[in-house]
Amino acid sequence: MMFDGINIAASGLTAESLRLDVVANNLANADTTVTPRGGPYRREFVVLQSLPAPATGPDQGIGQGVMVAGIYQDPSPFQVVYDPTSPQADAAGNVLYPNVHLPVEMVDMIEASQAYQANVTAFNAAKTMDTKALTLGA
φ/ψ of residue 130, rounded to 5: -65, -40
pTM for the model stands at 0.85
- The per-residue pLDDT for range 31-87, each reduced to its tens digit, is 999 999 999 999 999 999 998 877 666 666 667 899 999 999 999 999 999 999 999
Instruction: Please tell me the predicted confidence (pLDDT) of residue 52.
Output: 81
What is d(CA 45, CA 6) in angstroms, rounded to the nearest whole number?
26
